Amino acid sequence: MKIGIPRGLLYYRYIPLWKTFYEELGYEVVISPKTNKMILDLGIKSCVDEACLPIKIFHGHVEFIKNKVDFLFMPRVTSIFYKEFNCPKIIGVPEMVIHSIDNLPKIIQPIFNFYSKRSNNNKNKIIQEMIGPLEVEFKKARIAFRKGMNQLEIYNKNLYNGFLPEQAIHWRTVRNSLKRLNDKGSLLILSHPYNLYDEFINMNLIKKIKSYGFHVLTIDTMEKEKINIYASQLPKKMFWTFGREMIGAGLYAQQELNIDGVIYLSSFACGLDSFIADYIERNIRREGLLPYMLLTIDEQTGQAGIDTRIEAFIDMIERRKFNDGDFSSYGKFVYRN
């Protein structure tokens, strides 16, 4: 029996848990391939026009994999932390897919909801829903879930140490290959994980930054305690999980880490990014000393345009390091520390 997992949205956060869980129960896990133009086109055809790029791509992954599996795993991840929510489209994507795509296999749709304190005790309910249509003993499922959580913990530690998701998953074969050869400086990239780690969506942004000799920081490479502390300084609690993480990471990096610039990668039509990116930009510009660039992507974004903006941003940072930024384009002295 084959269980399909679309390579989109929260795949990059929880795939070690999901994959290990079903493999431990004896099922073959089939993951859709890395995002490509064909998958994007499938998603555009099957998804509503007003959806953001990651949602359209998720639809494309479902279209690609639906005829190759017996079950399709599409969890409804409503809330990960106490008094916080995920993006509404992530919460509702199972219904979007069910009502947009025909001839789907049987759906496994567990609900992950830890919004209230009482819901912290619903792990057994989640496990039961993960094996809902399957003929599996609950005792075996609990053991498999525990092993999946162990793999997820290892995965998160590898991300913290600078591995990309594929490296973090296959850490036994690549653990000696991570070398920090980038010594020109450090850049912080803020984005949702499905934008940050899907190389088709972001057009290999992380690898491009590293190719210029810069070290890349992300939310996953930063101390979670520090992120939470800085996010808690907001006058009102940020109830979007990804929003809280990005604001906390931005404030933390700006105040305590020696970074050379910030890049915010956003999807066009993302409701959360519309105010989170603006808040971070305003806060950075208030200090006035840290370069900031907002990259907005959709299905029409071209490779050349992204490359040009990245190259110009890197060039500006390098010039600042040599104090060339102290002079105007006309050669007149304007400022120096």
- Under DSSP, the state recorded for 333 is B
List, in sequence order, every residue forming a beta bridge with 73; answer none if it has no partner: 108
Is the CB of residue 76 less than 8 Å from the CB of residue 109? yes
Name all domains of the chain by residue range, CATH numbers in brackets. Answer: 2-169 (3.40.50.11890), 186-322 (3.40.50.11900)
Q: Which amino acid is at 165?
A: P
Give this prediction's pTM: 0.88
Please, which contacts does 144-147 make with residues 24 or more away whose CB atoms are closer than 8 Å? 144/20, 144/21, 144/22, 144/24, 144/25, 145/17, 145/21, 147/20, 147/21, 147/24
Residue 298 burial (C-beta neighbours within 10 Å; 0-12, 13-18, 19+) = middle
Q: CA–CA separation, 19 vs 220, rounded Å?
A: 20
Return the sign of the alpha-carbon dihedral for residues 65, 303, 250, 260.
Answer: positive
**Residuewise pLDDT in 10s, the chain (337 residues):** 899 999 999 999 999 999 999 999 999 999 999 999 999 999 999 998 888 999 999 999 999 999 999 999 999 988 888 788 888 888 999 999 999 999 999 999 998 887 666 655 678 888 999 998 898 899 999 999 999 999 999 999 999 988 888 888 876 655 555 555 557 888 999 999 999 999 999 999 999 999 998 999 999 999 999 999 999 988 888 888 899 999 999 999 888 888 889 999 998 888 888 888 888 888 888 876 788 999 998 888 778 888 999 999 998 888 877 765 555 444 444 455 5
- 201 C-beta neighbours (distance < 10 Å), count: 25
Distances (CA, A) of 292 to 263, 264, 322: 6, 8, 18
Sign of CA dihedral 292, 319, 161, 36: positive
